[in-house]
Each structure stands twice: as structure tokens, then as C-alpha cells.
Homo-oligomer: A and B are copies of this chain.
Amino acid sequence: MPGLGSVRALAFDVFGTVVDWRSGVARDAAAILGARGLDLDWGAFADRWRALYQPSLERVRSGERPWTRLDDLHRESLLQVLEEFGARSLSEAEIEDLNRAWHRLDPWPDAVEGLGRLKRRYVIATLSNGNVSLLVDMAKRAGLPWDAVLGAEVARAYKPLPESYLTTARLLDCRPEECLMVAAHHHDLVAARSCGFRTAYVHRPREFGPAQKDDLPAEHGHDLVVADFLELADALGA
């Protein structure tokens, strides 16, 4: 781990990096909408819902609308996606249940064991755009052993705004260079690095489904490039 000896805290992106959002959303959509007699392309449903994610964040980041937590943005996007897919007349309880699919995402197979190893040597914290209660529900269900659940809601700034990274580092009492951002997304790592964080790219070739086209991880000059959290723990001596 060249030059990473000063790292004390690992800050994790969550959606796509720790958990498999696409399969989990597709599964819960199939269960909840399927019970209504709908038969859709559930992967496409998940993809469309996720496609509205960045535009919804951008309206908050830009100041077009005031701070709004992710659960509420997800719900607004869900109503649009349901309309687009012709899934009308769901009850409020069904909509709320489906919106909470994001609280019930499964971790990638290596995540729990890898985090357990990393936790013994480092502070491990979320640095996610998910709201605290979403991340707490997810962690309790999946057994994710976070030391702290931090990120956008606590900072009141969505990634990749610098405040999201810098507030998380400050709360962990770390200088930015003492924090290693762990993510499967280059844009997140590039933003973290511009705040002074060290960066670890985790390759998640199935995040966007079987047809995913990989971009090459090595081209962005991250401190570490790993296949999963076990390889990350190996690389960090944890």
C-alpha cells in the first residue's frame, strides 16, 4: 500500500459499491408489482428508477430546491417511473413499501466479511448520498458493521459536492489525506481526491446488470484498484 500509511479512516460509497441496488430493486418491484398482476422487465424498471437519481440530486445540489433527503427524491422518481411503466393505482402503502426497497438491498458477497476485516484496523464509515435512516435499516438487515453512518444527509450536501467529503472527514477528526474513499465509480473518487482524500477503486462489473460495459479502472490514477473488499483488506494489511 504505497503511501497509504497515514490512512486512518475508510469512507465508503454504498449504492453499487457495498450493495447491489439493481438486483434488489428489481426483486422488490417484481414482488410488490407482480402481486398486482404486473409483468414488467424488472431490471429495466430498476434502471429507469436509478436513471432519475442524478437529475433529482442535481436539483438539490444546484440550489433549485432546498435540502431533500434521498428517500423523498426516490419516492418522487418512483411515481414517475410507475406512470411510465403503466403501473397505476397502487396504494400509498404499496408505494411506500416499494420505495423502501432501497433500505433492503443485499450486499455484494464479499462486503460483510471484507468490512469486518477492515474494521479491525480502520474506522469504517459510510459516505453515501443515502439518508441516515436508509443506511441504518440497510446495515441492520445486511449486517454491515459501520463504525459511523455519515455522508450527504449529515453534511446536507450531495456528492460530489466537496462539503459532503470534507464534513465526513471533519466528523471523523481526520485530515482529508487520512481518509481513503472506497467506491466503484470514478466520478466519486475523482471528487474525493480533489478534496485531498486517497482513493480506492473497487471493480463491480455487475452493478449495472449483465450488459454492463466496464470502463477501465486503471486510467484514473487511484491509489488502489481492487476486485472486491477482500482484496482491499489484503492490500491494506487488514
Report A's interface with B, CB cutoff 8 A: 71, 119, 123, 131-133, 136, 139-140, 147-150, 153-154, 171-174
Contacts and interface: CB of A to CB of B under 8 A. Distances in A.
Nearest to A120: B140
A165 to B, nearest CB: 15
Contacts of A154: 154, 171
Contacts of A139: 147
Complex copy number for this chain: 2
B123 A148 contact: no
Contact of A173 (B123, B133, B147, B174): B133
Given A139-B147, A147-B139, A148-B149, A172 B133 contact: yes
Nearest to A154: B154
A38 B148 CA distance: 38
B147 A123 contact: no
27 contacts: A71-B173, A119-B140, A123-B136, A123-B140, A131-B171, A131-B173, A132-B148, A132-B150, A132-B171, A132-B172, A132-B173, A133-B171, A133-B172, A133-B173, A133-B174, A136-B147, A136-B148, A136-B172, A139-B147, A140-B147, A147-B149, A148-B148, A148-B149, A149-B149, A153-B171, A154-B154, A154-B171
